[in-house]
Amino acid sequence: MEPNNFPVTDLLQKFLDGTISDTESETLFAWLKENPAADHPELESVLEKNYRRSFEEPPALTAAAGNRILQRLIESTAAPVVPIRRRWMPYAAAVALLLITATATMIIWRPKDVTPIVNNTNAVKPGNHAFLTLADGKQIQLDSAYGNIVQQQGLQVANNKGELDYKGKAGSVEMHTLSTPKGGQYRLLLPDGTAVWLNAESSITFPTAFHSNSREVKMSGEVYFEVKPAANQPFKVNIDGKNTIEVLGTEFNVNAYTNEPAIRATLIQGSVRILHDHTSAVLKPGQQGVVSQDQLDVNNNVDIEMVVAWKEGLFRFDRTPLETVLRQLSRWYDVDVIYEKGIPNILFSGEIKRDLDLNQALTVLSTMGVHYKIDGRKLVIMP
């Protein structure tokens, strides 16, 4: 097939409109396999036109999202991966939002099918929100308390721009708890120099000084750790009284939300041991320990970038079920998700910035074929 005579732009437009026949689709992908898309700038105009007509205000997606989603799209059609020029990525990201894998079939969702968004005046604005609870039960709202918020003998606690910093070594040890609400995140520097990041709806309880033979903290929700090495003082993370992570010095992420089907500890670098009941497993970098149905397993094929995306300010999905996607959005935007008639069987791939407001995030969902309505803090998913 000669590029000059082949109607590639017409077929691509039909593909995006959902009007392409099976024969035409096979022909299009066969042509793309033989003719790299990067060599044909006329395809860019097709992507750009669809991008502009699909959104009044284009969603703010990362550039990598376009390439990643479009690659998944092409893989799902058993076609080769098509090279995408860097300038195409914003257009490809938006066009890819019109394309979604539902069960095993590619379905095209057009803008006219989008459910209108209802303004949610009660929506929380996500950001650096957290509370510090002291040993005597006093609670400090960190959104409005800055500078040196706690001073004890030998210890000073400073709060500034989303980070809580424990400096010095307290003479008498007390237990403090840092907790984030829905829509909140925070960074903590423990007295031993260990850095901790809390995702939304998470908490960590820790001593104001580590005087014993081990450094032990207790957590819930999702927390990322960069542990300060101390050979004679191993670091321990108690998750729920039944699961413990032991480490000397390393980086790892723990997802232990009670509404998730499993506890997942993912090792970024170093070495950790996971203890569950009477079993244990030592993880290597890139592995993930999973506790589910009272059983401990180890996953080797883990997408580390997707696991820690929240820490980098992103939602990142790779063929992720809608229910899992909405659990993340629920925690970040402080909304309750209700399904009118069951959970749609939809898989998502791509990246969305976490600094979008709720309406922008829902615009992305609606463009991908999710029908919904907003009722106060309730997100109702409709058929």
What CATH number does residue 178 fall under?
Answer: 2.60.120.1440
Q: Supply the range of the domain harboring residue 69.
A: 8-97
Contact 198, 208 (CB under 8 A): no
Burial class (CB in 10 A: 0-12, 13-18, 19+), 317: buried
Answer yes or no: do 251 and 295 share one domain.
Answer: yes
* Averages of pLDDT over each 10 residues, the chain, 383 residues: 66 73 70 63 67 51 47 45 42 42 28 44 76 95 91 89 90 93 96 96 96 93 96 91 89 96 96 93 96 94 94 90 94 94 84 85 76 90 89
Domain boundary among 51, 79, 97: 97
DSSP type of residue 97: T
Sign of CA dihedral 323, 289, 334, 366: negative
**Cβ-Cβ contacts under 8 Å for 137 (sequence gap 6 or more):** none
Asked whether residue 117 is assigned to any structural domain, the reply reads: no
Distance of alpha carbon 225 from alpha carbon 251, whole angstroms = 5
Answer yes or no: do 138 and 259 share one domain.
Answer: yes
Q: Which pLDDT value is given to residue 151?
A: 86
Structure tokens at 302: 């883990």
Following CA atoms 139, 143, 145, 146 in sequence, which dihedral angle do they give, to the nearest 10 degrees? Answer: 140
Asked whether residue 258 is assigned to any structural domain, the reply reads: yes
Q: Which pLDDT value is given to residue 183?
A: 95
Q: Which pLDDT value is given to residue 47?
A: 66
Answer yes or no: do 342 and 280 share one domain.
Answer: no
Asked whether residue 245 is assigned to any structural domain, the reply reads: yes
User: If DSSP codes are grouped into helix, strand and coil, which group holds residue 221?
Assistant: strand
Answer yes or no: do 183 and 252 share one domain.
Answer: yes
Asked whether residue 118 is assigned to any structural domain, the reply reads: no
The total number of structural domains that make up the chain: 3
Answer yes or no: do 302 and 316 share one domain.
Answer: no
Answer yes or no: do 142 and 281 share one domain.
Answer: yes
Identity at 66, one-letter amino acid code:
G
Domain boundary among 306, 332, 360: 306
Identity at 189, one-letter amino acid code:
L
Asked whether residue 3 is assigned to any structural domain, the reply reads: no
Distances (CA, A) of 201 to 253, 310, 325: 15, 13, 16
pTM for the model: 0.72
Nearest to 275 by CA among 303, 312, 247, 305: 247
Domain boundary among 306, 323, 348: 306
Asked whether residue 39 is assigned to any structural domain, the reply reads: yes
Answer yes or no: do 292 and 367 share one domain.
Answer: no
Asked whether residue 114 is assigned to any structural domain, the reply reads: no
Answer yes or no: do 291 and 316 share one domain.
Answer: no
Identity at 91, one-letter amino acid code:
Y
Q: Which pLDDT value is given to residue 24?
A: 72
Answer yes or no: do 287 and 337 share one domain.
Answer: no
CATH code for the domain in which residue 321 is found? 3.55.50.30
Answer yes or no: do 169 and 86 share one domain.
Answer: no
Distance of alpha carbon 284 from alpha carbon 305, whole angstroms = 16
Distance of alpha carbon 163 from alpha carbon 177, whole angstroms = 14
Answer yes or no: do 169 and 251 share one domain.
Answer: yes
Asked whether residue 138 is assigned to any structural domain, the reply reads: yes
Answer yes or no: do 263 and 137 share one domain.
Answer: yes
